[in-house]
Amino acid sequence: MKKVTGLGGIFFKCENPKDMNAWYAKNLGLETSEYGTTFEWRQADNPEKKGSTTWSTFPQDTKYFNPSVKPFMINYRVENLVALVEELKKDNVTVIDEIAEYDYGKFVHILDPEGNVIELWEPKDEEEKG
């Protein structure tokens, strides 16, 4: 079974997300919104499928990375999240929450051995319509 298939996003805390987004827009050319930016690309093994990677700033007091106290969180793209979570539980990996499903995919959060929150995402990637 494939597990991680790519990087889904990088999320980090900062003192002022709005100013940070503006700095990255001005100095590095990222087209940011209040949520950061999304890099779109095509999958190497299936160029008909679009994928994306998100870069996003969060305020220092966000609870979204809890229970981790680290200032960042990495999101990994995965296949078959339900089966992967079952495997992780068998290997005694800490699964923080239940799988949540949205229009753009399924998500769950786990902890690595050093207490870093990892977000796992099974995306609903778009296929090119002929």
Q: Is 19 exposed, middle or buried (0-12, 13-18, 19+ CB in 10 A)?
A: exposed
Residue 126, pLDDT score: 61
Per-position DSSP letters for 58-123, written without gaps between them: EETT-STTTT--SSEEEEEEES-HHHHHHHHHHTTPPB-S--EEETTEEEEEEE-TTS-EEEEEEE
Residue 78, pLDDT score: 96
Task: Tell me the pLDDT of the chain (130 aa) as tens digits.
Answer: 778 989 999 999 999 999 999 999 999 999 999 889 999 999 888 888 888 999 999 999 999 999 999 999 999 999 999 999 999 999 999 999 999 999 999 999 999 999 999 999 999 866 555 4
Tokens of 24: 């990255």
The CATH architecture assigned to 4-123 reads Roll (3.10)
Q: Is 62 exposed, middle or buried (0-12, 13-18, 19+ CB in 10 A)?
A: middle
- Please report the sign of the dihedral spanned by the C-alpha atoms of residue 110, residue 124, residue 3, residue 74: negative
Residue 30, pLDDT score: 95
Q: Where are the domains of the chain?
A: 4-123
Residue 127, pLDDT score: 55
Residue 98, pLDDT score: 97
Kindly report the length of the chain.
130
Please identify which residue in the block is written with the tokens 């991680």.
Answer: 4
